[in-house]
Amino acid sequence: ARYRVTVCTGELEGAGTDANVYLCLFGDVGDTGERLLYNCRNNTDLFEKGNADEFTIESVTMRKVRRVRIRHDGKGVGSGWFLERVLVREEGQPESDNVEFPCLRWLDKDKDDGQLVRELLPSDSNATLKNFRYHISLKTGNVSGASTDSRVYIKLYGDKSDTIKQILLVSDNNLKDYFERGRVDEFTLETLNIGTINRLVIGHDSTGLHASWFLGSVQIRVPRQGKQYTFPANRWLDKDQADGRLEVELYPSEVVEIQKLVHYEVEIWTGDVGGAGTTARVYVQIYGEEGKTEVLFLSSRSKVFDRASKDTFQLEAADVGEIFKIRLGHTGEGFGPSWFVDTVWLRHLVVREVELTPEQEARRKKEKDKLRQLLKKERLKAKLQRKKKKKKKKKGSDEEDEGDEEEESSSEESSSEEEEEETEEEEEEEEFGPRMQEVIEEYKFEAHRWLARGKEDNELVVELVPAGRPGPEPNTYEVQVITGNVPKAGTDANVYLTIYGEEYGDTGERPLKKSDKSNKFEQGQTDTFTIYAIDLGALTKIRIRHDNSGNRPGWFLDRIDIIDMNNEITYYFPCQRWLAVEEDDGQLSRELLAVDESYVLPRSEDEEGDGGGDNNPLDNLALEQKDKSTTFSVTVKTGDKKNAGTDANVFITLFGTQDDTGMTLLKSSKTNSDKFERDSIEIFTVETLDLGDLWKVRIGHDNTGLASFPSIPG
């Protein structure tokens, strides 16, 4: 069969490429193999801005083309390429029969996600959502001369399919030199689902000033599978060392379960008003019926969030079920942080029953039967070719006969593999059940507002609900923070609050900046703040913390009262404890439960008379709250290596099955005043409510010496 392939380059500035472009078509019956696109039918200068370059590809019939893999080799001065789409039809068919495979992305190591290869699906699908991401960590051994300047490649083999031999050109962790001694380089492959990985091949091309390489290990995370594979190597890939091989086949020594994630596509439209673009870091957090994602920063190698621009991001995060709100915000950094956001689109895959009319059902059955007949014919043809080959080889020597037996057994294996060949629809039915298919669920969020200091409500964060769907309403919470009336109770630190509700999640961490008082959080003072959020339902708890900055950071918090303005209900959260390194248990963060007003408001004389004694209800309350909380002892050991210690602010987040602690600053060590020194052990206390079973921790530092703890939302 002959296929007419039209490759359409986009109209963006710098869209064209001088690199060599390769393409592979995948159909119901096999694929074309990778082809270099050079013999163009209609243009001499290939892949220029705005071009539609036509090529003819000859191959065995593939029935229906289901997928297109296209890449370039990154060579040439202007190798970056913006591919708009690829059109495919059988030769001789009208243009109306073209199947469109949209891309609308850069293949450029300095733009988008840095990838030079894209796998495309037809326009009624979404390749970026359906493709799997394979996160590859390569550890170079810590032996003399271990690093390499060669080009490293990898190929993964799964029980469903395998990847191409991919050269690893652009790392995710953006280290300057790749494959250096003792270091880990991270890469991502985005491709079809190859199933459970059973082996890989890795090697290099032995080029560069220092070609030899000592490979320590390979680790592959596949969040959509919920699996992590470890492949130990600990060997040289060098023609002058060990066995002289430059390539090795590795098998997994360990496969462990990790958190299973799903793909989200976030499309953000920045408004067309003066100064609308932002230089700040933008983040989103997604809330649904099954929980919430972590705070997800929207990053790209391209310049994003310009005035009147559309930017699309691919995210991997927890499956939250049906979505009822998102929180969108930015960090306020950079020389132009103000941002006018117009609209947000959010897409993800859900499994649904596909309703078919009797006519569609009959047509689908007819197509399946036709395809099975075609597959049967192809298998028969392949079988006959193998028999002819076998007869010719039988005339040879005994040794050749032995070789034939091996070939015959391998032929039988490949034949049995062919018997198992299925279409994508059949695979989906097998995975999800009869008539069940993955479909794209799309949500639209209307913003049309500034996120900027000095504009509108001065907020850098906004909560949005999906347009045209039932859900919670916007609400306003008036927050009254009462600092205790004890000596040195006030604080100069920055204070942050998170409010939790029964029905609709939480507000995320909000800075308490704009008080009705000019000097916030003074001894015996009440400061009032306003928080705009989507209605949370009945309030259950709050988390309050400060960043230990300023000349006098220690703080004695009496209580926090929150008025739900929509429902005219006041919630009381007593604390009566220090948030200070040198006081109490040294914690800078507290989680507080809502209590009845009788615990906190002054009692009348009659109530005092009936009380029969001097019992303070808050004394009993403190015991009750202590009983409902979980106290973790966190032990941190710094390694015994040169320069292992740090002066930076170290923080930790504990993740449980119900919630997480938020970023917790580790300041008050029970063992050392000079923390995180080489080979030292520190012990800290972290107290939390409703965390559930602990399943992971995240630890890091802010890369500063004397500077204060940074505020990162989440």
Structural domains in the chain plus CATH codes:
2-123 (2.60.60.20), 132-257 (2.60.60.20), 267-373+435-469 (2.60.60.20), 472-598 (2.60.60.20), 629-701 (2.60.60.20)
What is the model's pTM?
A: 0.82
Q: What is the pLDDT of residues 357-383, one digit of tens each?
A: 777 777 767 766 766 676 676 667 666
Give the pLDDT band (50/70/90) at residue 322: very high
Q: Which two tokens stand for residue 246?
A: 């430059």
Rounded to the nearest integer, the mean pLDDT of the chain is 86
SS3 607: helix
Angle formed by the axes of helices 398-419 and 358-393, to 10°? 180
What is the average pLDDT across 536-545?
94
The whole-angstrom separation of Cα 317 and Cα 223 is 9
What is the average pLDDT across 87-101?
90
Residues in the chain: 714
Alpha-carbon distances of 66 from 26, 88, 621, rounded to whole Å: 6, 10, 64
Half-sphere exposure of 109 (CA within 13 A, CB side): 17
Question: Is the pLDDT at 493 greater than 80, yes or no?
Answer: yes
Question: Is the pLDDT at 606 greater than 60, yes or no?
Answer: no
What is the average pLDDT across 147-166?
93
Question: Is the pLDDT at 66 greater than 50, yes or no?
Answer: yes
What is the average pLDDT across 144-156?
95
Give the pLDDT band (50/70/90) at residue 106: very high
Q: Which two tokens stand for residue 460?
A: 């850098």
Q: What is the pLDDT of residues 215-248, one digit of tens each?
A: 999 999 999 999 999 999 999 999 988 899 999 9
What is the average pLDDT across 134-150?
95
Question: Is the pLDDT at 350 greater than 70, yes or no?
Answer: yes
Query: Do residues 148 and 204 make contact, with C-beta atoms less than 8 angstroms apart?
Result: yes
Give the pLDDT band (50/70/90) at residue 420: very low
Q: How many helices (H) and strands (E) does the chain have?
A: 6, 39
pLDDT at 396 (0 to 100)? 54
Query: Do residues 15 and 9 make contact, with C-beta atoms less than 8 angstroms apart?
Result: yes
The whole-angstrom separation of Cα 330 and Cα 316 is 19
Q: Which residues contact 78 (CB under 8 A, 6 or more apart)?
A: 14, 16, 17, 18
Q: Concatenated DSSP letters for 361-415?
A: HHHHHHHHHHHHHHHHHHHHHHHHHHHHHHHHHTTS-HHHHHHHHHHHHHHHHHH
Which residue from 235, 250, 259 is spatially nearest to 197, judged by alpha carbons? Answer: 250
